[in-house]
Structure formats: C-alpha cells, structure tokens
Amino acid sequence: MQNADLLVQHALVITQNERREVIEDGAVAVLGGRLAAVGPTTEIAAQFTARKIIDARGRALFPGLVNTHTHLFQAAVKGLGEDMGVEQWVQAVTFPTAVTMSPEEVYLLSLVSCLEILRSGATTVVDYMYPVKDPALHEAVIRAMLASGLRGRYSRMVNDTGEQAGILPQLIQPADEALAHAAELIERHHGAGNGRMEVGLSIGAVWGITESGLRATRRFADEHHAPITMHINESKFDNASTRERFGRATVPMLAHTGLLGPDLLAVHCVHMTDEDIALFARRDVKIAYNAVSNMYLGSGIPPIIKLAQAGLTISLGTDGAGSNNNQDMLETLKFSALLQKVAAEDASVVRAQTAVDWATRGGAKALALEAEIGSLETGKRADFFLVDPYTPKATPVHDPLATLVYSAGQANVVTTVVDGQVLLEDGVFRHLDEARILREAQKAAQSLAVRSGTERLLEKRARWRPA
C-alpha cells in the first residue's frame, strides 16, 4: 500500500482525457498536489491508503473548470450600469470605481469573486486587472487570488492612451512604466503559491494603446516569456476606432505590429471577419469566449463555431461581475452552448461534451497548461470538483455532462480541490471565513459606490439596505 494525501473513491469520474473516458465507480489518489492514480475504486483502493478519504458515492467527479477571463475587483459593481453598451458602461461604472477603490476594498471584493469561482467548479482563473498606477492595488488582487487557493494568472495591463475614448487619465500610463511594473510583479509573484500563480500582460483594447505600446508589449512578452491577453473586437467601436487611427481594421493592425501569436489570448472576438479568423488561425491565437457578458452588454454573438472550425482553441470566461453580475462558470457553460445554438438556429452545433471541453481542455490549452490541468490523468495537478446532483434543479440525472451544462448550479458543487488542497468541502470553505468576508465586502462596495459616484446610477431604483 502506498501512502497518499487524499483519496476520493466511489465517484462517477468524468476524466476528460483524450478518449473522454468515464469511470462509473472511480477513484483518484492525490500525492504532493498531483494525481498519483486515476482508475476504478477497486484498483486504486487496493494500491493506496490516505490521511484523508472522501466517499463520493452518488457524486460525479469532474476536472476543474478554467475561467480564462474576468476582472476580479468588479464584484464591487454588481447590478450597477445595466442597460448600457460597453463603451458607456466602462465610462460610467468601472473606470470611476477603479480609480477610487482602496487596497483593502480590492482585496475583499476580489476575494468574493474567487469564492464564487470556486463554488462553481472552477479551479483556475485569469484575472485582467485595470491599469491602476498604485502598486498596492495590484498586490491586493494577487493576495486575494493566493488566499483563495485558486490556480491563476494575474495580467498587468498596458494602457498608454485613450482619453479620446473616455479612458480616465488616472488609468493611462506610459508603456515603459507599466512594463517595468510588470517585470517587478513577475519577479515577485511568478510561481507563488506552490507554483499556482503566473504573471502575464494584458491590453485593455486597441483604442487604449498606441502602435509603439503594442510593439513594446510584444517585445516584453518575448523577452520575459509572459503571455498576453487582450479584449479584441468586443464591439463595433474597435474596428471603427482602429481604422480611424491606423487606417486598417483591428486584427490586421495587431498582425502588422507582431502582437498575434500562440501566447495571445483574445477575449470576446464578437465582430470578426473571415480575414480576421484566418490571421488568428495562422498564428494560433487562443480564444476566450464570454457569452454572458456579450449578451448583457448587447455586444453581439461571437462566431465561435467558425473560430473552432478554423482550428482555433476555444476557452470560456465569465468576464467581470460588472458585465455578468456573477462569476458562475456553470451558468457560463450553459449560456455558451445556448448562444451558439440560437445564432445558428441549429440545436446540434454545440453538444454538452463540446461545452465541457471548452471549459476544461480548451481552457488548459489556452493557458499553455494542457500538460498540467484540464483532465483527470495520472501526473497532472489535482484540480477537480465533486457534484452532488440531488437538488430539484439537477435531478433526475441521465447524462452527467448534460446535467452539468444545462441543469446544475452552485448548490450542486459540494467539494472543490486545487493543487490537492480541499478548499470547499461539503459546501463549506475550510480555509476562509466566507460569512465574514461577504459582510465586509457588502459594506466596502456600498462605501465605494458613494465615493466613486456610481451610486447615482441607482436613482429611482430600489436600493439594498442591509440590517
């Protein structure tokens, strides 16, 4: 018998391996943060004993979902700025919030986002922080990510222009200064949390950066092996702005500057031409599909099926809670499938298996972590969650994949494990005081809304007055 740290047995194991194997009475053994074995319970229990054993009878075990795009601090603005398009929304809601918030507020509200991400079965997240100049605000988000136990990538934004597009001066910084700070963050935090933390770069949008800024970002990424993520063609304004400033559309402009590459995670990609898709495919750009945000802001429907048919890697993101109102990856699974079905007027274009692939294997590949996460296989990191389907929303179960995508909710996620650490167990966080965090976050968000001026958006609307 071998000693393991954790043994989960008698589960329906959805491996998401290359063959998409399902083990009806399966088990996983965890040792040193990795999966030491995956297989039938009879075999694994005969080989391993463990300090902690979880009996998962009647539950399904899935690899952790990967949320490839969000803005964690935006938990602060849930329910503010509804009925606005993206350009009006950022100017009225998120920009004023970003330049007003304190480090402690950022920490609390980012932590709320992290808790919800874990409660919805996601174990990895890519945060896309706004280009605030105070280093303490960046440190606060990273601190929240590490405290939550999530695996994550923190992206430091480069934003060196954009007043003409409504970007506040406090959010504009010379590219060399932003990149120098990114270098400090990489030095200080890359590999933190037992290797859970990665630091990369982000670009807000093409209307917030100069050509020299784009080229500097690409040079830095190449020199520091730092991945890049960028909002691309989220709204029609992207192409209109780029043509006015540079004489060409957004994606051709990005190709011209050398930004496109396999390390670029392109977010949204709503307004894409066939030329754009071909340029992406030629350079193996990865896609972060944010269905709920695209619907909430009225941005449009991304041509995800065409992107996938071109051979591009598709992953899923919630986007920030400001343009989603939650961080629920299970809801994202459902709407990601449904939005493509309605766009095609064909229910067969996305299967439940496809949506789960996007959220697991696709997310892992989008982050160049396919050797580490995205499926339950021996040697990979022990990132997974358990689903108990016995709630009215999810019962009865016939196809566990269809249940996860179309029926399950956060109430069904009972246990979440990241890097072999049991963070959520039987619906309770073992390492954080969730109730206290939520109470403090409520007070912080209301105070922030008053100071930033976003509270005025609630005029003539009902307001929450906590006891």
Same domain, 92 and 195: yes
Confirm whether 153 is domain-assigned. yes
Whether the per-residue pLDDT at 37 is higher than 70: the answer is yes
Residue 169 falls inside a structural domain: yes
- Separation of alpha carbons 225 and 269, rounded Å: 24
Instruction: Return the percentage of the chain with pLDDT > 70, whole number.
Output: 99
The pLDDT score that the predictor gives to residue 248 is: 96
Interval 265-317: pLDDT, tens = 999 999 999 999 999 999 999 999 999 999 999 999 999 999 999 999 999 99
Domain of 420, CATH number, reads: 2.30.40.10
pLDDT number for residue 80: 87
Please state the pTM of the whole predicted model.
0.97
Q: Is residue 207 part of a domain?
A: yes
State the pLDDT at residue 83: 80
pLDDT at 360: 98
Span 370-388, mean pLDDT?
A: 98
Q: What percent of the chain has pLDDT over 90?
A: 93
Would you say 166 and 109 are in contact if contact means Cβ atoms under 8 Å apart?
no
Q: Which residues pair with residue 7 across a beta bridge? A: 29, 53
Same-domain check for residues 162 and 259: yes
Does residue 454 form part of some domain?
A: no
Are 382 and 339 in a shared domain? no
The mean pLDDT of 441-453, rounded to a whole number, is 94
Q: Is the CB of residue 70 less than 8 Å from the CB of residue 126?
A: yes
pLDDT value, residue 82: 77
Please provide residue 398's backbone torsions phi and psi, each rounded to the nearest 5 degrees: -115, -55
Residue 464 has pLDDT above 80, yes or no: no
Q: Is 237 helix (H, G, I), strand (E, B) or coil?
A: helix
Segment 111-164, tens digit of pLDDT: 999 999 999 999 999 999 999 999 999 999 999 999 999 999 999 999 999 998
Measuring CA to CA, how many Å separate 398 from each of 45, 59, 383, 384, 415?
27, 13, 25, 21, 21
Q: What is residue 467's predicted lDDT score, i.e. its pLDDT? A: 63
40 and 71 part of one domain: no
**What mean pLDDT value characterizes the chain?**
96
Q: How confident is residue 402, by pLDDT bands cut at 50, 70 and 90?
A: very high
Q: What is the DSSP string of 278-346?
A: HHHHHHT-EEEE-HHHHHHTT-----HHHHHHTT--EEE----GGGTSS--HHHHHHHHHHHHHHHHT-
The answer as to whether 405 is a domain residue is yes
Bin 173: left if φ > 0, else alpha if -120 < ψ < 50, else beta. beta
**Domain boundary, last residue among 366, 396, 413:** 366
Q: Which domain holds residue 298?
A: 65-366
Q: In terms of domains, do 198 and 315 share one?
A: yes
Q: What angle do CA 238, 243, 246 make, to 5 degrees?
A: 110
pLDDT band for position 460 (50/70/90)?
Answer: low
Position 293 in a domain: yes
Please tell me the total count of domains within the chain: 2
Is a pLDDT exceeding 80 seen at residue 31?
yes
The answer to whether residues 45 and 69 belong to one domain is no
Residue at 290 is within a domain: yes
pLDDT in tens, 220-278: 999 999 999 999 999 999 999 999 999 999 999 999 999 999 999 999 999 999 999 99
